[in-house]
Amino acid sequence: MSEEFVSEPIVPVEGTFDAAAMTRGEPGLPGRFLWRDQEYSTADVLEAWKETGPCKSGGPEQYLRKHWFKIRTDDGLEMTIYFERQARATRQGKKRWWLYTVKRPR
Protein backbone atom coordinates (compact mmCIF):
# COMPACT_ATOMS: atom_id res chain seq x y z
CA MET A 1 0.00 0.00 0.00
CA SER A 2 1.20 3.51 -0.76
CA GLU A 3 0.41 6.20 1.80
CA GLU A 4 -0.78 9.65 0.72
CA PHE A 5 -0.71 12.71 3.00
CA VAL A 6 -4.09 14.47 2.80
CA SER A 7 -4.81 16.83 5.75
CA GLU A 8 -8.34 17.76 4.65
CA PRO A 9 -11.57 18.05 6.64
CA ILE A 10 -14.16 15.30 6.46
CA VAL A 11 -17.90 15.63 7.07
CA PRO A 12 -19.42 13.00 9.38
CA VAL A 13 -22.81 11.63 8.35
CA GLU A 14 -25.33 12.51 11.04
CA GLY A 15 -26.63 9.67 13.16
CA THR A 16 -23.63 7.38 12.52
CA PHE A 17 -21.50 8.35 15.54
CA ASP A 18 -20.27 5.83 18.14
CA ALA A 19 -22.65 6.75 20.98
CA ALA A 20 -20.83 4.52 23.51
CA ALA A 21 -17.63 6.56 23.11
CA MET A 22 -19.59 9.77 23.56
CA THR A 23 -20.91 8.56 26.94
CA ARG A 24 -17.26 8.28 28.05
CA GLY A 25 -16.54 11.88 27.03
CA GLU A 26 -14.70 10.86 23.87
CA PRO A 27 -15.64 11.83 20.32
CA GLY A 28 -17.98 9.39 18.64
CA LEU A 29 -16.12 8.04 15.62
CA PRO A 30 -18.43 8.45 12.62
CA GLY A 31 -19.55 5.22 11.01
CA ARG A 32 -19.81 7.07 7.69
CA PHE A 33 -18.31 10.33 6.44
CA LEU A 34 -17.88 12.38 3.28
CA TRP A 35 -14.54 13.27 1.74
CA ARG A 36 -14.18 14.91 -1.67
CA ASP A 37 -17.89 14.37 -2.34
CA GLN A 38 -17.68 10.60 -1.79
CA GLU A 39 -19.11 8.68 1.16
CA TYR A 40 -16.92 6.21 3.06
CA SER A 41 -17.94 3.67 5.71
CA THR A 42 -15.79 2.65 8.66
CA ALA A 43 -15.44 -1.15 8.60
CA ASP A 44 -12.76 -1.60 11.31
CA VAL A 45 -10.83 0.48 13.80
CA LEU A 46 -7.24 -0.74 13.53
CA GLU A 47 -5.75 1.57 16.16
CA ALA A 48 -6.76 4.51 18.37
CA TRP A 49 -4.62 6.90 20.41
CA LYS A 50 -4.67 10.36 21.97
CA GLU A 51 -2.37 13.36 21.63
CA THR A 52 -1.72 15.81 24.45
CA GLY A 53 -0.06 19.20 24.49
CA PRO A 54 1.04 21.85 26.96
CA CYS A 55 -1.21 24.60 28.28
CA LYS A 56 -1.34 27.42 25.72
CA SER A 57 -1.10 30.07 28.42
CA GLY A 58 2.23 28.75 29.70
CA GLY A 59 1.03 26.71 32.68
CA PRO A 60 2.45 23.29 33.57
CA GLU A 61 -0.76 21.41 32.70
CA GLN A 62 -1.10 19.00 29.78
CA TYR A 63 -4.33 19.02 27.79
CA LEU A 64 -5.90 16.45 25.49
CA ARG A 65 -5.66 17.93 21.98
CA LYS A 66 -6.57 15.20 19.47
CA HIS A 67 -8.12 11.75 19.22
CA TRP A 68 -6.56 9.69 16.41
CA PHE A 69 -8.04 6.66 14.64
CA LYS A 70 -6.52 4.37 12.05
CA ILE A 71 -9.46 2.78 10.25
CA ARG A 72 -10.19 0.47 7.36
CA THR A 73 -13.08 1.42 5.12
CA ASP A 74 -15.56 -0.95 3.47
CA ASP A 75 -13.69 -0.60 0.18
CA GLY A 76 -10.30 -1.57 1.72
CA LEU A 77 -8.66 1.82 2.19
CA GLU A 78 -6.67 2.47 5.36
CA MET A 79 -7.24 5.98 6.63
CA THR A 80 -5.84 7.90 9.56
CA ILE A 81 -8.37 10.42 10.82
CA TYR A 82 -8.41 12.65 13.86
CA PHE A 83 -10.76 14.75 15.96
CA GLU A 84 -9.59 18.10 17.30
CA ARG A 85 -10.89 18.80 20.81
CA GLN A 86 -10.68 22.53 20.10
CA ALA A 87 -11.67 23.44 16.56
CA ARG A 88 -9.45 25.73 14.55
CA ALA A 89 -10.92 29.05 13.48
CA THR A 90 -10.42 29.13 9.70
CA ARG A 91 -12.17 30.53 6.69
CA GLN A 92 -13.50 26.98 6.10
CA GLY A 93 -15.40 27.15 9.36
CA LYS A 94 -14.65 25.31 12.56
CA LYS A 95 -13.93 21.80 11.31
CA ARG A 96 -13.17 19.17 13.95
CA TRP A 97 -12.80 15.91 11.97
CA TRP A 98 -9.82 15.63 9.62
CA LEU A 99 -8.43 13.01 7.25
CA TYR A 100 -4.67 12.86 7.76
CA THR A 101 -3.50 10.03 5.48
CA VAL A 102 -4.88 7.42 3.08
CA LYS A 103 -3.28 4.10 2.13
CA ARG A 104 -4.59 2.62 -1.07
CA PRO A 105 -4.21 -1.06 -1.92
CA ARG A 106 -1.76 -1.66 -4.78
pLDDT in tens, 21-33: 888 878 889 999 9
The range of the structural domain enclosing residue 98 comes to 2-104
pLDDT attached to residue 60 = 83
Dist. CA 51–CA 41, nearest whole Å: 24
- pTM metric for this prediction: 0.85
Cα-Cα-Cα-Cα torsion 76, 24, 53, 30, nearest 10 degrees, comes to 30
- Split into its structural domains, the chain has a count of 1
pLDDT along the chain (106 residues), means of 10: 90 89 85 96 96 82 89 96 79 80 89
